[in-house]
Structure 1
Amino acid sequence: MTKPFRTWKDIKAELDYASETKKKAISFAAQLTNTILKRQHSYDISTADLANKAGVNAWEVEELKREDVIPSFDLLIKLAIALDVEFIIK
């Protein structure tokens, strides 16, 4: 039986072209994307409403669901703020 989604571990293994710093940035973006999508789901907020609240295009929010797209940190920050995601920097 085939898994419906690849895991971050599967994708990361394929990133042999990326430096360790780039891999860490992609990993952070993936974690933040996952948090944003979970929060959107738990708040039961539509893509259009989230996009409007964050001041971005709805298609940008939809692209978060694609595994071949690495969203910009600018987009992720806007969405996280719109969803009241707290950041803890260590």
Structure 2
Amino acid sequence: SALEQMEGVRLIGTARRKASVLSFVMEGIHPHDIGTIVDREGVAIRTGHHCAQPVMDRFGVPATARASLAMYNTREEIDTLVRALERVRDVFK
């Protein structure tokens, strides 16, 4: 996926057969900051513990950003998400 190829992005949960929910972190950037900037770019994602704080604690992940995709999302919308995340990376360089 485009997210996997982005420098500094790490997907959390890499099972082959999983739903189209992409939880991720960006190196050196708090997920709440990711969410704020992505929102300003017109993309809605979730950030935080997602009712899974014990699991996150177990794996040393303080929080994640999460994009939920569905069959009605277009490639253009996914490209917009990727561009928004590139903007996040640029802000925190």
TM-score grouping bracket, smaller chain normalisation: 0.3 to 0.5
- Rg larger in structure: 1
The structure that is strand-richer by fraction is 2
More helix by share: 1
Q: If the length of structure 2 is used for normalisation, what is the TM-score?
A: 0.34
